[in-house]
Amino acid sequence: MRVGSSLLVLFFLACSLTCSSCVGVLKYTVNLATSTIENGGPYNTFSQISPTRMVADNEGRIFVAAVNTVFVLSPNGSVIKNINVSGAEYIAFDNRTNIVYVTSGTLPIHTITEISDANLSVIRQLTVSAYPLALATDPTTGKVFIAIGNEVYALNSTKLVPLFNFLGVPTDMVVSPSGNILVSTYNFTENKGYIFMNFQGRTYSLELNTFPNSLLLEENEILVGTDGYILEINLALNIVGNISLYGGKIEGMAYDSNNDLVYAAVDSLYGQDYVLVLNNLSPIGEINVGITPVDVVFDPVSNYVFVSNFFDGTVAIISQGCPTQVNSSVSLPIIRSPTVSPQMPVISSFLPFYVTFVLLALFSALILRKYISKNRGE
């Protein structure tokens, strides 16, 4: 009996290290090339559509920037409109004016496009001299801020007002309710990343030894998705927490306010790309998606999580539920506070599935051998 009890305890221990929680399931996959929606997924096939950033409007519709088109999806994922916008890459929504803003910064013609949320058509385009990339809207005032070249501008009608400079190439931008403008950037030449923050006319910066890819605002805390880490920083630009994802490039992130969960897109170097689900910076599960997930949006109208998959031209739609298959090839990381801010600690991971059960088998054999020897002695 003691041998059986030991085996049972070890089985549950091994399962706790390798099994994900019931945190969501890939319900639909939207094929942007054919404007069709299918059950399940992922596709894992190459497409030239290449969706990047997304945003949700007040009605729960999802706007997807994808090279030369902005796709508009209904809350259930069906494609309801294609809007021609050359080089569409970054996108934001102003819920005060009901205008969608799109930046095109990778083509010779650099433009900022305004789209009416009411009739889903282009209002106007503004051509700028340098490449416009990351942009954000102030949730309190409705002001629009755009990173162009190495400077952040405020968009005032058709006029761009310069605000502050930064180093590197911008990757994302958020604005806090109190008016803090934060921009994440990277510098390949110096092999550094930065977080710049402008507040009341003054600019502050945080230097990182990893490249930041995305920002997510949660009340007075900001999550930073980087190459290999998810960092938590406060508005004083202090790192207050982090987790390590070995071999994972963290792209877009979204916050599910209904369930207090964060969904982070992970471009994995060693296997299937996936969305990592976190609660209070603690990983609780994974959901496989398409190839190279770039952005994640939570839609409070449908309660779905939308994920843009860059290389297979699809949008994955995650709903609440249990996945039929758990991806155990990527270990769940352990949370630790940074040793020297912003220096990242070396963080160990849980043992993979097969290693855990090899140890389980060896340990069980030792217990069984001891039990047999004791019975022979009697």
In a domain, residue 82? The reply is yes
**Whether the bond into 293 is cis, omega within 30 of 0:** no
In a domain, residue 232? The reply is yes
In a domain, residue 251? The reply is yes
- Give tens-digit pLDDT for 38-92: 998 877 788 889 999 999 999 999 999 998 999 999 999 999 999 999 999 999 9
Question: Which amino acid is residue 138, in one-letter code?
Answer: D
Q: What is the CATH number of the domain that holds 73?
A: 2.130.10.10
In a domain, residue 9? The reply is no
In a domain, residue 377? The reply is no
In a domain, residue 124? The reply is yes
The phi, psi pair for 200, rounded to 5°, reads 55, 45
Give the pLDDT mean for 281-286: 92
In a domain, residue 7? The reply is no
- Give tens-digit pLDDT for 173-223: 999 999 999 999 999 888 999 999 999 999 999 999 999 999 999 877 899
Question: Which amino acid is residue 235, in one-letter code?
Answer: L
In a domain, residue 330? The reply is yes
Supply the pTM of this predicted model: 0.80
Question: Which amino acid is residue 126, in one-letter code?
Answer: L
Strands (E), 188-279: 192-199, 202-208, 212-218, 221-234, 239-256, 261-268, 274-279
Provide the number of structural domains found in the chain.
1
Question: By residue range, what is the domain housing residue 147?
Answer: 20-352
